[in-house]
Amino acid sequence: MRGAAATRLLASCELCPRMCGADRLAGKRGVCGAADELRVARSALHFWEEPPISGEAGSGTVFFSHCPLHCIYCQNAGIANGQVGRDITVERLAECYLELQSQGALNINLVTATHYAVQAVAALDRARACGLSIPVVWNTSGYERAELVRALNGTVDVWLTDLRYARPETAKAFSAAPDYPEVARSAIAAMAQSDAQVIVRILALPGHVEEAFENVAWLVNTFGERVTLSMMSQYTPMGAFPQHPELEQRVDPDEFDALLDFVDSLGVEEYFWQEGEAALESFIPDFEACEGV
């Protein structure tokens, strides 16, 4: 994941599970929407992650434009489709990391960085050489290749990953990624074998909360306390979904409470969960476009 060999990966990109083979060095765009540029939407302190990630000081979040997953219910579509963002150099990205550290950030929190993994890591190396010393959080949808997870061992200190779907048909309908359940579970297994802390976010989707139950059961039975659960109720409808009207509502609070009861019933003593309006703030921050970039 470093040096000229890493850059050559972009000539036939297989960084994410789409493995679309786009020649990004020649300016071709992959399924994720990224080509050879490095496009970043925001670099700023963020206070709405899990308590150990944000703390009182804030997490130094860097939001990368474009996205390999493209969920139909995306809460940050402007960033995911690349409309929001500014093309910058690796050197400028390293400066962003250092600026966040000087602002007191607890960590560098790379949000949806997979398609820019080569540049994000190069910038980390450059910043480390200039005094960056805070931990690195890789904040991901969970749609990651296990190979990439292993390649990032030693670079990433905290895996902050979603586990969204348990069933291929849902993953296909909402993210055009029927392999998501298998791929994300393999990625989480690789994360659990790494040296990093692993926090798995379970996003309850309206009409599909039963998949959250399935994923919780799999995580607890497979990894026990090696992974920390973060239960999320923050889904917010962002438009009309004629094919999937269930996505036009929020998650039923009673269903979410039942999900938390299920986590308790499995004997999980320490986990995170969202409640009330805090959930809204955390998922749809009022972005000032390109802040800090």
Residue 237: count other Cβ atoms within 10 Å of its Cβ. 14
Closest separation between CB of residue 65 and ligand SF4, Å?
A: 12
Instruction: List, in sequence order, every beta strand (DSSP E) within 17-107.
Output: 39-46, 59-64, 86-87
Return the number of the residue (101 or 112) whose C-beta is nearest ligand SF4: 112
Q: Any binding-site annotation on 74?
A: yes
Q: Any binding-site annotation on 32?
A: no
How many Cα atoms sit within 13 Å of 293 on the Cβ side? Answer: 22
Return the number of the residue (24 or 42) whose C-beta is nearest ligand SF4: 24
Q: By beta-carbon distance, which residue lies closest to ligand SF4?
A: 30
Residues in contact with ligand SF4 by CB under 6 A are 13-16, 18-20, 22, 24, 30-32, 34, 68, 115
Return the number of the residue (49 or 144) whose C-beta is nearest ligand SF4: 144
Closest separation between CB of residue 160 and ligand SF4, Å?
A: 19
Closest separation between CB of residue 183 and ligand SF4, Å?
A: 12
Q: What are 39's two structure tokens?
A: 């496009």
Closest separation between CB of residue 42 and ligand SF4, Å?
A: 20
Backbone angles phi, psi at 81, to 5 degrees: -90, 5
**Per-position b or e across 253-283, b if 16+ CB within 10 A of its CB:** eebbeebbebbeeeebeebbbbeeeebeebb
* H/E run at residue 201: strand 197-203
Return the number of the residue (66 or 201) whose C-beta is nearest ligand SF4: 66
Q: Any binding-site annotation on 67?
A: yes
Residue for token pair 């302190």: 45
Can you say which residues are annotated as belonging to the binding site for [4Fe-4S] cluster?
A: 67, 71, 74
Can you say which residues are annotated as belonging to the binding site?
A: 67, 71, 74
